[in-house]
Amino acid sequence: MSEPVHALRPDLQCIADWVRPGARVLDLGCGDGALLGYLQTRKGCHGYGVEIDDKAVLRCAQRGINVIQQNIEEGLGMFNSEQFDVVISSMAIQATHKTEQVLSEMSRIGKEGVVSFPNFGHWTHAWSLLRGHMPMSRTMPYQWYDTPNLHLATIPDFESFLQDHDLVITSRAFLAAGRPVRALAELRATQAIYRFRRR
């Protein structure tokens, strides 16, 4: 049984709103499958999740999600070019070693991609660094020595990355504490969400 609407994280709800009914979806690092469960039940979408964590894979199976247990950095060669309408990576891209490769594969196998990530440019992170400490926040709740986050980015960093790789931004959204941020997002947003396609 899928999660009720109110159970989705705000960034996942934003992503779900961008996905058209009946779309073929691949969710990389799908966690417990909440987003795919919502998309299947509420929008008639179908597809797969890719997840490496044993407990999360079990939870996906319990939800009736088609899940493949694999490290996304080992390649997505099992999927054909443009096999999916949308490929999603929510709050996971910053934990990848081969970030460039993952984004490249996303743009190969999907007609469009959606990525959300914690904004390292948030003003509280800058303040922490000025005081001599690595930042910790609700979206990055780890000490410097045990964080899974390997490649932290700011909003301008990510936009430059997409531009350099011939990926066109079609939608963007910024959140702070789950609420939309419309002004000074580079400093005020804790999360950034981008929708993009190949040029």
pLDDT exceeds cutoff 70 at 151: no
pLDDT exceeds cutoff 90 at 193: yes
Instruction: Output the CA–CA distances (angstroms, integers) from residue 159 to 73, 108, 189, in the order listed.
Output: 22, 19, 15
pLDDT exceeds cutoff 60 at 182: yes
* pLDDT score recorded for residue 73: 85
Interatomic CA distance for residues 120 and 124, integer angstroms: 9
Closest by alpha carbon to 79, among 57, 56, 54, 111?
Answer: 111
DSSP type of residue 166: T
φ/ψ of residue 12, rounded to 5: -70, -35
Interatomic CA distance for residues 77 and 51, integer angstroms: 16
* Residue 130 pLDDT class (50, 70, 90 cuts): low
pLDDT by residue (tens digit) across 58-79?
999 999 999 999 988 887 889 9
pLDDT by residue (tens digit) across 155-175?
999 999 999 999 999 999 999
pLDDT exceeds cutoff 90 at 189: yes
> What are the residue ranges of helices labelled H in the chain?
10-18, 34-43, 54-63, 99-109, 123-130, 155-164, 185-188
pLDDT exceeds cutoff 70 at 149: no
Closest by alpha carbon to 172, among 149, 195, 188, 155?
Answer: 195
Say how many C-beta atoms besides its own lie within 10 A of residue 133's C-beta.
11
Please give the structure tokens belonging to residue 94: 């910053």
Interatomic CA distance for residues 142 and 125, integer angstroms: 13
* pLDDT score recorded for residue 1: 45
| Range 49-58 average pLDDT | 94
* pLDDT score recorded for residue 152: 79
More confident residue, 140 or 58: 58
Say how many C-beta atoms besides its own lie within 10 A of residue 60's C-beta.
27
pLDDT exceeds cutoff 80 at 5: no
Q: Where are the domains of the chain?
A: 5-119+153-198
3-state secondary structure 102-127: HHHHHHHHEEEEEEEEEECCCHHHHH
Class at the top of the CATH hierarchy for domain 5-119+153-198:
alpha beta
pLDDT exceeds cutoff 50 at 38: yes
From start to end of 46-83, where are the E strands? Answer: 46-51, 67-69
> Which residues, other chains included, contact 106 with Cβ-Cβ below 8 Å and sequence gap of 6+?
28, 76, 87, 89, 113, 115
